[in-house]
Amino acid sequence: MEKEADTARRRFLARATGAIAGMVVAPGVILQQVARAKPADEPVTSAQRWGMLIDTNKCQKGCDACVQGCVKENNIRSHYGPATDSQWIRKVEVRDRNSGHSFSLPMMCQHCAHPPCADVCPTGASFRRADGIVLVDRHICIGCRYCMMACPYKARSFVHEDIGPEEHVPWVPRGKGTVEACTLCVQRVDRDGANAVPACAEACAADGHDAFVFGDLNDPNSRISQELAKHGATEIRADLGLDLGIRYRGI
Amino acid sequence: MKKVNYRELVEIGRSYWGFLAIVGFFILLGLGAAYYMESNGHHVTGMSNQVVWGTPHVFAVFLIVAASGILNVASIGSVFRKGPYKPLARMSGLFAIALLVGGLAVLVLDLGRPDRLIVAMTHYNFKSIFAWNIFLYTGFMVIVAIYLWTMMDPVVNRFKAYAGFFAFLWRLILTTGTGLIFGFLISRDAYGTAIMAPMFIASSFSFGMAIFLLALFAIMRSTGRPLGDVLVRRLKNVLGIFIGGAFYFVVAYHLMNLYATSHHDVERFILLDGGVYTRIFWIGQILLGTFVPLAMLYHPTLGRSRGAIATASVLVVLGGLAQMYVIIIGGQVFPIPLFRGMEVSSSFFDGVVAHYAPSLPEVLLGFSGMALAVALSVVAMRVLRFVPESLADEVVDPHAAAAVAAETAGEEETGAAEAA
């Protein structure tokens, strides 16, 4: 009897919370949908090409806010040490041997237009979405790791251990024996369109550095396109001709 | 050439089953190792996000390369019409299939998700050399099986030459595909060069011939069937040529890298200051795997000793494993060049030589692939007619046998005359 009352109270509380949250969030969501996002049942198209511009002049040495943002968003935990843990984004310190000039930058999947990982993948599990995001279909990845051999940026990680139920978040399918990497926070991109902010960029901005600009490389009016047009940027290992979605300034 | 009679390995009694039990034990150990690795995840191996292909790949690629190479014995007989090799063709085809199955088993059992093998059979990305290889490997087994059928069944015997030629072409394409697994990798300095394809082909000739000689000695000795010296001498001379050919490509590969400034760092690592990798290269691959067997095979007295030829063959096999270790592991532990000429560091081992040490399960899995190849061959030879009753010189090469006999008689006569 007491239990029933308890259940009813819980149900009431849950509904009430849901309703209040709905009232608060709905206008924003609806407005956003009208303005930008595509309905979930529509396929992505090549009308957009999502990318990021990272200003290494704003990137602080020793700061790993972006890494922490990614880890939190995708719930990536450490298991058996850095050699086998997944790292979707990492901070790389670079130093010129001759001049001693040094800088720091975040390194992750570069979302190539011609991704070597997708080229070598035997099953097609590694693929590039029409909007430029490079992903791994965790349902058909057989764990051969050839993509990791092929990636020039060491952007991918192999899941070396069991992922416990407490580690799963709904938007990140993960599993032992498959390969994973930065998804450009595809769950946010699909929800918010051009207004999306990947978790790394969000964390960097929250920390006051604001080194990341996310946006549509195909839209000449987007902030990223305008900044690229104005200041230019560099692709890492541009000699490989992979046409990267991630560009850097100040390197 | 006299008519060659083939017979099942019926001579070996109880020791046959004992041998099979030992080989089976190694297969079981490998299966256990694979189960352990898969159920715990790859963190229990020496592999990591830096070295994603470990010791299982060293064994698997070696076995696959050797599989295509061991078919050469049959090809020399059928495609290049060298009579004395023809009686060896059945064994050559059988060993080719067996080695390939052994290598593929290791490769599959090391996958992150071996249970998804069916996915690899139903989803293809035809830009991937791996996807091509799935067809090249399965196709190889089918074609060599047909080739064996044309050799063993008089009804289809007239197609033997065509099957043999097709199998030869296919094996060249197959080893090209294996070499290009690395050749197509533009990301790492040790790979990304087309020479990987002919280098693997040349190496396959030498690995295959060495394994064939070892198998031949073991089989003929354990069954008590005759094996002539002329044939052995031919095979060991060919092995020497193949070792030299493989060495040529290794030299060309390193010269190329030594010329390109961008590749100096990786060359310095492999040739000079790579620690264990440098030692495995110079001592394992070059000294023990190339120069010592060459010297033994062409030495005027050692070259006639079967013990020395067998030892040279073992060295070629060990040198081959060393070569695969240097290519596969050495190529991965050397850091990816993110920013050339710059020092890089990170939490993900950028800019530093990665650590790798083979773990026991990996080694057991690798050995089990070899054991599987041996088991398949031994069982097949017991139930079907793969092995000639005699490989005496007068059977396989009567002319050479007669010439040798005359030469020996001549030497004896001269000796007798001198003594007189």
To the nearest whole number, what is the mean pLDDT of chain A? 90
Give the chain B residue nearest A67 (alpha carbons).
B347
Is the per-residue pLDDT at A117 higher than 60?
Answer: yes
Which CATH number is A127's domain given?
3.30.70.20
Residue A42 lies in a domain: no
Q: Which helix (H) or strand (E) holds A226?
A: helix A223-231
Within a domain: A40: no
Of B186, B187, B347, the CB nearest to A82: B347
A220, A86 contact by CB (below 8 A): no
Q: Which helix (H) or strand (E) covers residue B178, if one does? A: helix B160-183
Q: Which helix (H) or strand (E) holds B142?
A: helix B129-152
Across the interface, whether the CB atoms of A160 and B43 are under 8 A apart is answered yes
Q: Is A47 within 8 Å of chain B by CB?
A: no
Q: Are residues A122 and A20 in the same domain?
A: no
Q: Percent of chain A scored above 90 by pLDDT?
A: 80
Over 90: is that where the pLDDT of B101 sits? yes
Spatial distance between the Cα atoms of B310 and B209, rounded to a whole number of angstroms? 11
* Model confidence band, residue A86 (pLDDT cutoffs 50, 70, 90): very high
B276 near B334, Cβ under 8 Å? no
Q: Residue B43: which of A107, A119, A161 has the nearest Cβ? A: A161
Residue B415 has pLDDT above 70, yes or no: no
Per residue in B159-214, pLDDT (tens digit) is: 999 999 999 999 999 999 999 999 999 999 999 999 999 999 999 999 999 999 99
ipTM of this model? 0.92
Q: Nearest CA to B63 among B26, B27, B121, B102?
A: B102
Q: Does residue A44 lie in a domain region?
A: no
* CA B180/CA A149 separation, integer angstroms: 13
For B315, the enclosing helix (H) or strand (E) is helix B306-325
Task: Read off the pLDDT of each residue in B79-92 and give the average, rounded to a whole number.
Answer: 88
Q: How far, in Å, are A123, A190, A221, A227, B416 from residue A231 at the CA level?
A: 40, 28, 15, 6, 96
* Domain annotation covers residue A81: yes
Burial readout B266-303 (b: 16 or more C-beta within 10 A, e: otherwise): bbebbeeebeebbebbbebbbebbbebbbebbeeeeeb
Cβ separation of B187 and A152 shorter than 8 Å? yes
Query: Distance between CA atoms of B293 and B309, rounded to whole angstroms?
Result: 8
Residue A136 has pLDDT above 70, yes or no: yes
| Residue A22 sits in the same domain as residue A110 | no
Within-domain flag for A143: yes
Please tell me the distance in Å from A93's CA to the nearest CA on chain B. 5
3-state secondary structure B183-197: HCCCCCCCCCCCCHH
| pLDDT given at position B91 | 97
Confidence of residue A1 (pLDDT cuts 50, 70, 90): very low
Total domains present in chain A:
2
Going by pLDDT thresholds of 50, 70 and 90, the confidence category of residue A34 is very low
Same structural domain for residues A156 and A242?
Answer: yes
In a domain, A182, yes or no: yes
B10 pLDDT tier (thresholds 50, 70, 90): confident
Span B24-37, mean pLDDT?
Answer: 98
Residues A22 and A102 in one domain: no
Structure tokens at B199: 């280098």
Residues A67 and A109 in one domain: yes
- A232 in the same domain as A174: yes
Is A55 found in the same domain as A10?
no
Q: Does A120 touch chain B (CB under 8 A)?
A: yes
d(Cα A178, Cα B9) in Å, to the nearest integer? 45
Binned at pLDDT 50, 70 and 90, residue A35 comes out as very low
Same-domain pairing of A99 and A160: yes
Provide the pLDDT confidence category of residue B157 given band limits of 50, 70 and 90.
very high
User: In the prediction, which pLDDT does A98 show?
Assistant: 92
- Rounded-to-integer distance, Cα B152 and Cα B387, Å: 11
Q: Is A95's CB within 8 Å of B342's CB?
A: yes
Cα dist from B191 to A11, A126, A142, B286, whole Å = 61, 21, 23, 19
The pLDDT tens digits of the residues spanning A36-69 come to: 567 777 889 999 999 999 999 999 999 999 999 9
Render pLDDT for A164-204 as a digit per residue (tens, 0 to 9). Answer: 899 999 989 999 999 999 999 999 999 999 999 999 999 99
Distance CA B397, CA B315 (A): 28
Is residue A135 located within the same domain as residue A95? yes
How many other C-beta atoms are found inside a 10 Å radius of the C-beta of residue B184? Answer: 25
Mean pLDDT for B321-331 is 98
> Is position A228 within any domain?
yes
Q: Which residues contact B307 (CB under 8 A, 6 or more apart)?
A: none
| Domain identity same for A123 and A2 | no
- A153 lies in a domain? yes
CA distances from B318 to B59, B203, B285 (A): 11, 12, 8
CA distance B138 to A19: 59
Average pLDDT over residues A217-235: 97
Place B79 in a pLDDT band, splitting at 50, 70 and 90.
confident
Note the pLDDT of residue B77.
86
Residues 94-113 on A with a CB inside 8 Å of B are 94-98, 107
Pair (A152, A119) in one structural domain: yes
User: What is the rounded CA–CA span in Å between residue A137 and residue B267?
Assistant: 37
Q: What's the pLDDT at B395?
A: 86
Q: Name which of B162, B164, B180 is nearest B64 in CA terms.
A: B180
A123 or B2, greater pLDDT: A123
Put simply, whether B342 touches A (Cβ < 8 Å) is: yes
pLDDT tens per residue across span B111-142: 999 999 999 999 999 999 999 999 999 999 99
Q: 10 Å Cβ neighbour count for B7? A: 15
> A-chain residues within 8 Å CB-CB of B344?
92-95
Which pLDDT value is given to residue B230? Answer: 93
> Alpha-carbon distance B387 to B397, whole Å?
17
Same domain for A150 and A222: yes
Task: Please determine, for residue B391, whether its predicted confidence score (pLDDT) is greater than 60.
Answer: yes
Gap from A121 CA to chain B (nearest CA, Å): 6
Go through the domains of chain B in sequence order and give each one's CATH number: 6-389 (1.20.1630.10)
The letter for the amino acid at A174 is: R
The percent of residues in chain B predicted with pLDDT above 70, rounded, is 96
Pairing status of strand A50-55 against strand A246-249: parallel
A47 DSSP 8-state letter = T
Q: Report the largest interatomic distance among the alpha carbons of chain A, rounded to a whole angstrom.
A: 78
Interface contact B112, partner A, CB < 8 A: yes
Nearest to A143 among B112, B131, B332 (CB): B112
Q: A25 lies in which domain range?
A: 1-35
Q: Which H or E element spans position B343?
A: strand B342-346
Do the Cβ atoms of A121 and B184 come within 8 Å? no
